[in-house]
Amino acid sequence: MAPKLQQFVSPGKGNGVQATASIRRGELVYSAKPLASCVSNKLSKEVCHHCFTRRETLLRCSQCKMARYCNITCQKRAWCDHKRECKCLRSLLPRIPTDSVRLAARLIFALLSPSENSSEELYTLEEHESHLSSMSEQKKQGLSHLASMLQLYLTQEVPVQEMTSALPPSCQEPLNLIAKVTCNCFTISDGELQEIGVGLYPSLSLLNHDCRPNCVMVFEGTNLQLRAVRDINPEEELTISYVETLSLTEDRQRQLEDQYHFTCHCQRCDSQDTDRLMLSGKEETQSLLKEALPKLEDLKAESNWQALLENCRHLLSTVGGDVPEENLYKLRMTDHAVDASIQLELWEEAVGYGKKTLPAYRQYYPDPHPVHGVQLMRVGKLQHYLEHIKDAFDTFRQAYEIIKVTHGDDHPLTADLLMKMKECHTEMDQHSSSSH
Ligand SMILES: [Zn+2]
Ligand SMILES: [Zn+2]
Ligand SMILES: [Zn+2]
């Protein structure tokens, strides 16, 4: 694939990426393997540390007892990346360093033994910003703590002399390195958009943010794919969203400032276009829903599905009628209700909540977006399971219109979706032939 993109200086934003030719909606713009990546601690028992596939049973590394693999093949392939990490992990047992420390260490190992794939990068890590100068004292302290952890973690495996002689000057200082890693790492997600790990893709860190971006990123294993969700003209800047776009201007801006150290001046932020709709409905009810959300998120984190569903049910049935489905807080609550009822295998209830979210998703995602496509797929699968075949087919068809753009025809998720559509089709044929 001849890349249709190049580094340029974006007015007001600094470094960025622009198109060098016309790019069609749905086109794969760039795909990249990570310079370094790791499965997040939270999911380390459920995901293969080599191919990032989720599996019920995984083989455990007999030495560190932390890394897990699908099979011996994945374990063998992972060894050159895991060898040094394994020793470091063992040296700290039973403590396990945070994801960013493990990722920074993996980055150091990768830089100390560079492979052939590092040549085609548009952009290198040395050029990355650490934003240390614009950081709050509190944040700097948090990073210093991680930096000491990193040094402790690496003590036996990477002596300071080795680090200083082999690494580019900007990566030698642990605090600087940790700051760069936390600012520039990408969350790797699976087909259901659950976070499974973190990775560094230096060239793609160059992409600037827009709250209504013209590109989206999806993953296949650890491979990152950047696709256009609108037609893009030559010289136009390519953008992604660093944050959840389904949120209020104020919240997006705060997150961008806290995490990425800039103020967004995109068109959505300037016009605050969707805020009014997201905050529609009776004000007192909205604050009730808003205040309940953190507690619901805690219940979700604890996998306390029963309590989560009961709380959602109660609030949605007692006060939910005062605000429309488009209300952001109500939408989030309805989404929690979908998750909880799926976990509790209450399929009818799940499909009822799921269907309520769809018109709001359609409004808030004017361009094809993975989150919207995956939500449609979830509802379609529930409808299919409940044998609402015609509804299921219709929902899958809407999902396909999105997924074919965001994931492309070769992605396993698209194949899965097409298979579901075919199943529905066959079942509809059977129904119509048996009724005659
Ligand atoms: Zn594997
Ligand atoms: Zn190990
Ligand atoms: Zn914005």
Tokens of 263: 């103020």
- Cα 72 to ligand 1 centre (Å): 9
Average pLDDT score over residue span 374-388: 97
Partnered with residue 209 across adjacent β-strands are 240
User: How confident is the model at residue 27, as a pLDDT?
Assistant: 97
Residue 340 CB: number of other CB atoms within 10 A?
27
Contacts of 145 (CB under 8 A, 6+ apart): none
Q: What is the DSSP string of 2-36?
A: ---EEEEEETTTEEEEEESS-B-TT-EEEEE--SE
Average pLDDT score over residue span 223-249: 96
Please say if the pLDDT value at position 13 is more than 50.
Answer: yes
Q: How confident is the model at residue 121 (pLDDT cuts 50, 70, 90)?
A: low
**How many Å apart are CA 372 and CA 97, to the nearest integer?**
34
User: How confident is the model at residue 321, as a pLDDT?
Assistant: 84
Q: Among all chains, which residue has been given the structure tokens 């600087």?
A: 176
Answer whether 171's CB lies under 8 Å from 105's CB. no
Mind listing the domains of the chain with CATH numbers? 35-184 (1.10.220.160), 277-434 (1.25.40.10)
pTM score, whole prediction: 0.92
- Cα 218 to ligand 1 centre (Å): 19
**How many Å apart are CA 386 and CA 42, to the nearest integer?**
32
What digits encode the pLDDT tens for the residues 282-294? 999 999 999 999 9
User: How confident is the model at residue 398, as a pLDDT?
Assistant: 98
Please say if the pLDDT value at position 160 is more than 50.
Answer: yes
Instruction: State the chain's mean pLDDT as an integer.
Output: 92
Residue 303, judged by CB atoms within 10 A of its CB (0-12, 13-18, 19+), counts as exposed
User: How confident is the model at residue 254, as a pLDDT?
Assistant: 96
Answer whether 193's CB lies under 8 Å from 381's CB. no
Helix 72-92 crosses helix 137-154 at what angle (to 10 degrees)? 110
Percent with pLDDT over 70 in the chain = 97
User: How confident is the model at residue 1, as a pLDDT?
Assistant: 47
- Cα 211 to ligand 3 centre (Å): 4
- Cα 317 to ligand 1 centre (Å): 44
Partnered with residue 10 across adjacent β-strands are 14
Q: Which ligand is nearest to the CA of 69?
A: 1
- Cα 281 to ligand 1 centre (Å): 48
Contacts of 115 (CB under 8 A, 6+ apart): none
Q: How confident is the model at residue 156 (pLDDT cuts 50, 70, 90)?
A: confident
Amino acid letter, 258: D
Cα–Cα distances in Å, from 106 out to 153, 163, 295? 11, 13, 35
User: How confident is the model at residue 119, as a pLDDT?
Assistant: 46
- Cα 49 to ligand 1 centre (Å): 7
Q: How confident is the model at residue 203 (pLDDT cuts 50, 70, 90)?
A: confident
Q: Which ligand is nearest to the CA of 52?
A: 1
Answer whether 150's CB lies under 8 Å from 97's CB. yes
Q: Which ligand is nearest to the CA of 50?
A: 1
Q: Which ligand is nearest to the CA of 249?
A: 3
Q: Which ligand is nearest to the CA of 46?
A: 1
Amino acid letter, 13: K
**Which residues make up the environment of ion ligand 3, defined by Cβ < 5 Å?**
211, 264, 266, 269
Please say if the pLDDT value at position 116 is more than 60.
Answer: no
HSE-CB of 81 using CA atoms within 13 angstroms: 22
- Cα 349 to ligand 3 centre (Å): 35
Q: Kindly calculate the radius of gyration of the chain based on its CA atoms and give it in whole angstroms.
A: 23
- Cα 151 to ligand 2 centre (Å): 19
Please say if the pLDDT value at position 278 is more than 60.
Answer: yes
Q: How confident is the model at residue 435 (pLDDT cuts 50, 70, 90)?
A: low
Tokens of 127: 């050029």
**The most confident of 8-22, 251-265, 296-310, by mean pLDDT:** 296-310
Peptide bond before residue 94 is cis, with ω within 30 degrees of 0: yes
Percent with pLDDT over 90 in the chain = 77
Contacts of 34 (CB under 8 A, 6+ apart): 188, 199, 200, 201, 222, 224
Q: Which ligand is nearest to the CA of 252?
A: 3
Q: What is the DSSP letter of 43?
A: G
- Cα 52 to ligand 1 centre (Å): 6
Lowest mean pLDDT among 139-148, 292-301, 349-358, 425-434: 425-434
- Cα 77 to ligand 2 centre (Å): 13
- Cα 32 to ligand 1 centre (Å): 19
Q: Which ligand is nearest to the CA of 13?
A: 3
Average pLDDT score over residue span 309-331: 93
User: How confident is the model at residue 123, as a pLDDT?
Assistant: 60
* Residue among 187, 199, 163, 182 nearest 100 (CA): 182
Residue 116, judged by CB atoms within 10 A of its CB (0-12, 13-18, 19+), counts as exposed
Q: Which ligand is nearest to the CA of 213?
A: 3
Please say if the pLDDT value at position 117 is more than 60.
Answer: no
What digits encode the pLDDT tens for the residues 182-199? 888 999 999 889 999 999
